[in-house]
Amino acid sequence: MLTIILAESELELIPSQIWSHPAVISYAKQRNKKPNYLILDSSFHHSAMKDLPEGARRGRPDIVHVFLLNSLESILNKKEKLKIIIHTRNNEAIFIDSKTRIMRSYHRFIGLVEQLFEKKKIVTEERILLELKENFSLEKIIENETHDFVISFSENGKIVELRDYLVNLKNKKIKNILCIIGGFPHGDFHFNILKYSDDVISIFEKKLMTWSVANELLTFFNNIF
């Protein structure tokens, strides 16, 4: 079983500090919603985000969207051998049911996430598709999840050939692997990943996008385990 935590994802509601900014006010009017119910998005709120701490890093729900599209449609997920958890910069944890199908339209996805932040759950008659839990640190998620081995992916980690690396873990009879991938556009984790990881690795000498790392992991894991 593979568990992927998309950690420190830049997914958050618009912070109160910029509710009165003209760019936010205009966007809220277009969406016919109050700013406190809207997801921060650098594509629309870039000028307002200059006043936020780490403004250049924040407001990237698109990373979560692409990651979920690729992961939920993966062969590994269809085999029910994948668990996905989204961890946000504000220590919310979003648990994703494997049967969830994320809409391909980005704007519809944003509407879904805004509904999730408001309602805390997206429910069908049969199951909870998405559930958001507050005050759920990355440390708490790791401690609560079943795993034999924790791997963090970082551009500062030791470079490995991912296929050979996973084959080696399989030969050691390691079955339940928890992987941490950053959900932010650049920089490094705020969380001390060294403290909670059995290994910190990089799979290429150049920086890769979040979904590229996930795609490599999903493909090799499916072929090896």
> What CATH number is associated with residue 82?
3.40.1280.10
Q: Where are the alpha helices (DSSP H) in the chain?
A: 22-31, 42-49, 61-72, 75-78, 106-119, 138-144, 162-171, 193-196, 210-224
> Per-residue pLDDT for 15 more than 90?
yes
Q: Is 91 inside any structural domain?
A: yes
Give the tokens for residue 76. 């590994």
User: Is 33 a domain residue?
Assistant: no
pLDDT value, residue 51? 84
Residue owning tokens 């992987």: 179
The pLDDT score that the predictor gives to residue 126 is: 83
26 domain-assigned: no
Q: Measured in whole angstroms, how far is the alpha carbon of residue 171 from the centre of its chain?
A: 29
**Which residues, other chains included, contact 72 with Cβ-Cβ below 8 Å and sequence gap of 6+?**
84, 96, 98, 100, 101, 102
Residue 119 lies in a domain: no
pLDDT digits (tens, 9 = 90+) for 100-125: 999 999 999 999 999 999 999 999 88
What number of other Cβ atoms are within 10 A of residue 58's Cβ?
20
Q: What is the mean pLDDT of residues 73-101?
A: 97
User: Which of 191, 166, 161, 158 has the alpha carbon at shortest distance from 5?
Assistant: 191
- The token duo for 213 is 């790392």
pLDDT mean across residues, the chain: 97
- Check residue 140 and give its pLDDT: 97
16-25, pLDDT tens digit by residue? 999 999 999 9
pLDDT > 70 fraction of the chain, expressed in percent and rounded: 100
Q: For residue range 29-67, list pLDDT tens digits in order.
A: 999 999 999 999 999 999 999 989 999 999 999 999 999
> How many domains does the chain contain in total?
1
Question: Which residue range(s) make up the domain with 210?
Answer: 2-9+60-105+124-224
Quick check: 94 pLDDT over 90? yes
